[in-house]
Amino acid sequence: MMKAVFSRCACLALALGVVGCASGPGGGSIYVPVGGQDRSTAPEPPRASGSEQDAEPRVWRKSEQPEVSEPEPPATRSPSYRQAGDELPAAAVSLIRDADQRLQQGDYNGAIARLERAQRIAPRSAEVYFKLAEAYVAGDNLGAAEQFTLKGLSLAGNDTRMQRSGWLLLADIRRARGNVAGADQAETRAQAL
Amino acid sequence: MSKSRNPRKKSSKPQNRRKRSGFWRFMFRAGAVGLVLLAGWMVYLDAVVTSRFEGRRFEVPSRVYARPLELYDGASVSASGLARELELAGYRAGDGARVGTYQRSGGRFVISARGFRFPDGEEPRRRLSLVVSGDRVQSFSVLAGPDSPIVRLEPAQIGGIYPSHREDRVLVRLEEVPDLLPKGLMVIEDRQFYEHFGVAPQSIARAMLANIKAGQIVQGGSTLTQQLVKNFFLTRDQTLIRKGNEALMSVLLEWHYEKDDILETYLNEVYLGQAGNRSINGFGLASQFFFGEPLKDLDVQQIALLIGMVKGPSYYNPRRHPERAKARRDLVLSEMAEAGLISADESARAIRQPLGVSSRPSYTDNRYPAYIDLVRRHLARDYREEDLQSEGLRIFTTLDPAVQNASETAIRDTLPRLARGDTREALEAALVVTAKDTGEVLALVGGKDPSFAGFNRAVDARRPIGSLIKPFTYLAALGQADRYTLITPVQDRAFTLEFDDGRLWQPKNYDGKERGEVPLHLTLSHSYNLPAVRIGLDVGIPRVQEVLRAFGVTTPISDYPSMLLGALSLTPTDVAQLYQGLATSGFNTPLRTIREVTDARNEPLSRYSLKVDRVADPAAVHLVQYAMQETMQEGTGRSAYFSLPDRLTLAGKTGTTDEGRDSWFAGFSGDLLAVAWVGRDDNGPTVLTGASGALPVWSAMMAQLPQHGFSPVMPDGIQYHWVNAQQQALTGERCANARLVPFIVGSEPQQRIDCEGQFGRQIRSWFEGLFQ
């Protein structure tokens, strides 16, 4: 049974790094540096209306303070979503390769430590979670493996290859845990893709 | 006679003999008693000194580290943030070639990284080059050292867990110490160290002569062993008895231990300075304290300074008395040259160098007391306090100094603007920031004075959470796709609930208004109370409690309907845990402050791994996330965009309790989840709401950090449709009142209002616009 899981994981390893990133109508996740130029809705700070010679700073009485307007919601703004998770950056790929090597040497903890580093770099990428699941399978912690597979699946989006890998991995883990019905269900999902 | 004499004589002789033998016996007995006493005393001294020696050799406080900064192409960091991070880790601005320095010009950095032994392996020394542009690392490359696309800087030390006598040290091993240090030390302090047996009579004689001449004690003549013994007992008075004891104990030490053991312990034990109420013991820590660098990286003149300071750490304190310290250092340098340890050239060159002491101790006391407090609580689950204080453990936390800095700034700058007069004085705040997908606690502020190690509100202030509870009620409802969708009409109308005992309960909206029929998503994004209570009562309080427990509430939850409006008291950290599951689409991720703990030799003791646990259907959570995004765009959280860029998509929820006693905001971006609380310790009223109190704090923190917008991946079983909520029908994208809304597949409206019916109207409105 373990062997079956391993072979699937090998397929998964092949899938690494070739995943495209398709954004849904809501757009992908946008990286926003500090002090973005598009702060259009920030209210203007109160300004003295007098000329520059007007040395005396104008005192605003409460009654005549400018109304702070609520920012108008721009027409284009709507709740965001997307169809697929993030692509893996090169740094994460190198960590995953390193983890793979350690896994082959039987160093589960070393592999997990590296995969967790990769997960911090690419926390919205399904592969990282499938890889973690694989490491937990190898370390014989099938409960954790199942949870990481589910987490990966929640980020697989419309990437059918990624989804199929995930469902098959889930089927194997569930079967290994003795959950035959759950395994069949996952297998059916994989076949439907 | 003779007989009689004889006996007398005989008797006198034995008497004499008896007298003599009595004297000798007395002497013998006294000597024996003395010897026994001395032996006893020696045994006592032996026990004292060896236990001290053994105990001190290994008593090292635990070190607490921030998370290491990971550098790679695409890493999220600002140029100023990187510079600050480098300073915090003890790097100095310089040429970027010498280990432990960095060179910056604009966004371009060259960093000469020291390398660090992480629990999962060594990060070797490297020279790195990178450009920070748009708050991202670009053109990352390794100039020298093993190539890698990703490199961890050494982590900043953010605190320690000290024993009660508050001595600190960085344990060094003799073989790791630069050769010049022990050799120089012997030249200056004890030239016969490897020959004597603990005391050096010659030097004592020399010292005594000098002392008699001066009429007071001016010279020690102590060997390194004697100095070590003296250091054990921490008293500086130099009585003869003490000197005698010291000498005896020194001999005993030498008898028990190898010279190298004694030397190593000396290097780790000798007193070299004071940091507030903590003493700086040993060369390892002194190096860190005065130069911000590990001992093995020190230059000749730096080593000479430390050796010189042994004679009088406060007298030669290089920060307070730089001239004295330099004179002493230069003397040591010339002595070292004379002894042939360094060449005359080297000595002359070193003498020309400035002291090179870092401007402030790179090493300050716990600067993040609230965070360390939470770390200690987490450690207490697995470790005994004594072990933490003495075993020299290395604790790798998840604290992100940039986020912590932003959080402290946000509270410090925002809080005074929120109220006036007495309320302003009384106002307190707490802020918890976690990494959305890992559950790592990145920052924690426990009050308006972040450096105050007192009441930690982030962990201990248990307050009613108000409307922060609503997303969980809505999640319970939206999980029943056959009954509830985001566009289900809900009655925003007052009602009275009568309990069995005859008491009445009449919930109200915050603004006191009623709006009639409102689509469900708007009732959450605008935080209307009446619809929330109706929905909660409809799905049933037990179901809502179940959801809350699944997401991490461990305290008892009231059965009364008032719980639907937040009659549940939680701490800001509890709330962060609760919202983690909402932010990650239904995966509970336990909050962590610690990644790993190792012992002093880097052997791993505990790893606190990432855990995920699916506690809700991601599809239902996606619907709640939709409404929580709407909260920020057009609901109660929209004022966040006063200070945040439009492009940063966010999701969140405000919470306010009666009379503004508690102002809450919990929300998340793509990377960060944060919970802010503002209120008074005496639970008094304020004029604040969640939007006017906690939200400005939250936004001020978020505005300082580069990050990804929130854009959840559409989970399995969700489909987006253009709908007309009023008509409860599918519609075309361009039709009036069309809104793109997610549905659990199968729960979308069945009828469709085509644009045909509204086509004409749309044309008309075009023309209206043209001819007005």
Calculate the alpha carbon distances from B385 to B61, B62, B166, B389, B540 in Å: 11, 10, 14, 6, 45
* Residue showing tokens 């303070």: A65
Mean pLDDT lowest among A153-157, B5-9, B311-315, B472-476: B5-9
Task: Output the DSSP codes for A153-165.
Answer: HHTTTT-HHHHHH
Chain B positions touching A85 (Cβ under 8 A) are 713
Contact criterion met (CB below 8 Å) for B617 and B745? no
Number of inter-chain CB pairs under 8 A, A vs B: 185
Rounded-to-integer distance, Cα B599 and Cα B604, Å: 7
CA B359 – CA B414 distance, rounded (Å): 31
The answer on pLDDT for B144 being more than 90 is yes
CB contact residues (below 8 A), chain A span 66-125, against chain B: 70-71, 73-74, 77-85, 89-91, 94-95, 109-110, 112-114, 116-117, 119-121, 123-124
- Kindly give, in sequence order, each residue whose CB lies less than 8 Å from that of residue B443, ignoring residues fewer than 6 positions away: B371, B399, B400, B403, B404, B406, B407, B431, B432, B433
Which residue blocks in chain A are alpha helix, DSSP H?
Answer: 2-15, 90-104, 108-121, 126-138, 142-154, 160-176, 180-192
Residue B366's pLDDT is 65
Give B-chain residues touching A29 at CB under 8 angstroms: 670, 708-711
Q: What pLDDT is recorded for position B49?
A: 79
Q: How confident is the model at residue B737 (pLDDT cuts 50, 70, 90)?
A: confident
CB contact under 8 Å between B72 and A91, yes or no, is yes
Question: Using the beta-carbon criterion (under 8 Å), do A83 and B714 form an inter-chain contact?
Answer: yes
Q: Tell me, what's the pLDDT at B437?
A: 95
Cα separation of B653 and B276, whole Å? 44
**Per-residue confidence (pLDDT) for residue B1, from 0 to 100:** 39
Contact B111, B142 (CB under 8 A): no
The whole-number pLDDT of residue A45 equals: 36
Catalytic machinery residues of B? 189, 467
Question: What is the reported pLDDT for B767?
Answer: 45
d(Cα B666, Cα B637) in Å, to the nearest integer?
10
Q: Is B587 helix (H, G, I), strand (E, B) or coil?
A: strand
Residue of B nearest to A123 (CA): B437
pLDDT band at residue B19 using 50, 70 and 90 as cut-offs:
low
The alpha carbon of residue B430 is apart from the nearest alpha carbon of chain A, in Å, by: 23
Nearest to B642 among A29, A43, A157 (CB): A43
Mean pLDDT score, B588-615: 93
Query: Nearest C-alpha of chain B: how many angstroms from A50?
Result: 26
What tokens appear for B415 in the block?
A: 């809080």
CA separation for the pair A95, B440 (Å, rounded): 20
Cα dist from B470 to A151, B249, B461, B545, B654, whole Å: 25, 71, 21, 12, 10
pLDDT in tens, B405-426: 999 999 999 999 998 888 888 9
Neighbour-count burial for A152-188, b at 16+ CB within 10 Å, e otherwise: bbbbbbebeebbbbbbbbbbbbbbbeebeebbeebbe
Counting beta carbons within 10 angstroms of the beta carbon of residue B711, is it exposed (0 to 12), middle (13 to 18) or buried (19 or more)?
Answer: buried
* Chain B: closest CA distance from residue A60 (Å): 17
Query: What burial letters (b/e) apply to B215-240, b meaning 16+ CB within 10 Å?
Result: eeeeebbbbbbbbbbbbbeeeeeeee
By Cβ distance, the residue of B629, B647, B649 closest to A38 is B647
Chain B residues within 8 A of A89 when measuring between CB atoms: 72-74
Taking 80 as the threshold, does the pLDDT of residue B60 lie above it?
Answer: no
**Chain B contact for A38 (CB, 8 A cutoff):** yes
Q: Does A143 touch chain B (CB under 8 A)?
A: no
CB contact under 8 A, A120 and B74: no
CA end-to-end span of chain B? 165
When CB atoms are compared, the residue of A34, A42, A123 closest to B704 is: A34
**pLDDT band at B234, cuts 50/70/90?**
low
pLDDT of residue B13: 53
Contact across the interface for A30 and B74, Cβ inside 8 Å = no
Residue B7, amino acid? P
Nearest-angstrom CA–CA distance, B144 and A10: 35
Query: From A86, which residue of chain B is nearest by alpha-carbon distance?
Result: B713
Could you read off the pLDDT of B160-187 as tens digits, one per residue?
A: 777 656 666 777 888 889 999 999 999 8
Q: What is the pLDDT of residue B365?
A: 56
**Would you state the torsion angle of the CA atoms of residues A89, A93, A95, A96, taken in this order, to the nearest 10 degrees?**
140
What does the CA dihedral B201, B207, B213, B218 come to, rounded to 10 degrees? -150
Q: Is the pLDDT of residue B12 over 60?
A: no
Which of B248-252, B370-374, B596-600 bottoms out in mean pLDDT, i.e. has the lowest?
Answer: B248-252
pLDDT tens for residues B691-725?
999 999 999 999 999 999 999 999 989 999 999 98
> How big is chain A, counted in residues?
193
- Structure confidence at residue B756 as a pLDDT band (50, 70, 90): low
Interface test with A, best of B136, B150, B606 (most A CBs within 10 A): B150
Identify the closest residue of chain A to B438 by CA–CA distance: A120
pLDDT tens readout for residues B473-507:
999 999 999 999 999 999 999 999 998 888 999 99
Best of B420, B639, B646, B739 to substitute, by most chain A Cβ atoms within 10 angstroms, is B646
Residues 6+ apart with CB under 8 A from B83: B102, B104
> Which tokens hold the place of B604?
């791993």
Most confident of the ranges B51-55, B83-87, B583-587: B583-587
DSSP string, B463-504: EE-GGGGHHHHHHHHHT-TTT--TT-EEEE----EE-TTS-E
Nearest-CA distance from B150 to chain A in Å? 5
Minimal C-alpha gap between A181 and chain B (Å): 19
B508-528 pLDDT tens trace? 999 999 999 999 999 999 999
Kind and range of the H or E run holding B730: strand B729-730
**Of residues B768 and B348, more confidently modeled:** B348
Torsion-angle region of B318 (φ positive above 0: left; ψ -120 to 50: alpha; else: beta)? alpha
Q: Which two tokens stand for residue B765?
A: 């409105």
Question: Does A57 touch chain B if contact means CB atoms closer than 8 Å?
Answer: no
Q: Where are the beta strands (DSSP E) in B6-156?
A: 62-65, 70-72, 92-93, 101-105, 108-113, 116-118, 121-123, 126-133, 136-144, 150-152
ipTM reported for the complex, 2 dp: 0.77
Contact of A16 with A127, CB cutoff 8 Å: yes
Range scoring the smallest mean pLDDT among A113-117, B20-24, B295-299, B689-693: B20-24
Q: Give me the mean pLDDT over the B127-151 stretch.
A: 95
Q: What is the pLDDT of residue B425?
A: 87
Of A91, A77, A95, A71, the closest CA to residue A30 belongs to A77
Q: What percent of chain B has pLDDT over 90?
A: 58
Tell me, what's the pLDDT at A48? 35
Query: Does residue B755 carry a pLDDT above 90?
Result: no
| Cβ separation A157–B710 shorter than 8 A | no
User: Using alpha carbons only, what angle is made at residue B593 by residues B401 and B385, rounded to the nearest 5 degrees?
Assistant: 115
Chain B partners within 8 Å of A146 (Cβ):
none
* Buried residues in B331-352 as b, exposed as e (16+ CB within 10 A): ebbbbbbeeebbeeeebeebbe
DSSP β-bridge partners for residue B93? B102
- Spatial CA neighbour of A39 closest among B132, B652, B648, B628: B648
Q: Which residue of B has its CA nearest to A155?
A: B713
DSSP category for residue B250: H
CB contacts, 8 Å: A83 with chain B: 713-714
Chain A: give the shortest CA distance to residue B283, in Å. Answer: 33
Confidence of residue B241 (pLDDT cuts 50, 70, 90): confident
> Does the distance separating the beta carbons of A91 and B75 come in below 8 Å?
yes
Under the phi-then-psi rule, with left for phi > 0, alpha for psi from -120 to 50, and beta for the rest, what region is B113? Answer: beta
Average the pLDDT over each of A152-156, B51-55, B129-133, B385-389 and give the range with the smallest value: B51-55
Q: Is A74 in Cβ contact with B646 (below 8 Å)?
A: yes
DSSP B412: H
In this structure, of B101-110, B185-194, B646-655, the range with the lowest mean pLDDT score is B185-194
Q: For A4-104, list the strands marked E by DSSP.
A: 31-32
A15 vs A130, A135, A169, A190, B715, CA distance in Å? 11, 17, 13, 16, 21
Which residue positions in chain A have pLDDT lower than 50?
1-4, 6-26, 36-76
Closest Cα to residue B207, out of B219, B189, B198, B217? B219
Distance in angstroms (rounded) separating the CA atoms of residues B724 and B88: 55
Q: Residue B194 in 3-state DSSP?
A: coil
Report chain B's mean pLDDT, rounded to a whole number. 87
Q: Which residues of chain B have a CB within 8 Å of the CB of A32?
A: 645, 647-648, 706-709
Q: What integer is the mean pLDDT of B70-74?
A: 95
- Residue B633's SS3 state is helix
Assess whether pLDDT exceeds 60 at residue B609. yes
Note the Cα B490 to chain centre separation in Å: 46
Nearest CA in chain A to B71: A91
Q: Please state whether B466 falls in left (phi above 0), alpha (psi between -120 and 50) or beta.
A: left
CA distance B437 to A16: 21
DSSP state of B563: G
Q: What is the pLDDT of residue B360?
A: 64
Whether B358 has a pLDDT exceeding 70, the answer reads yes
**In chain A, whose CA is at the least distance from the CA of B705?**
A34
Q: What percent of chain B shows pLDDT beyond 70?
A: 90
Residue B246 has pLDDT above 90, yes or no: no
Task: Please tell me which of the candidates B121, B641, B740 has its beta carbon nearest to residue A25.
Answer: B740
DSSP track, B272-337: EEEETTEEEESHHHHHHHHHSS-GGG--HHHHHHHHHHTT-TTTT-TTT-HHHHHHHHHHHHHHHH
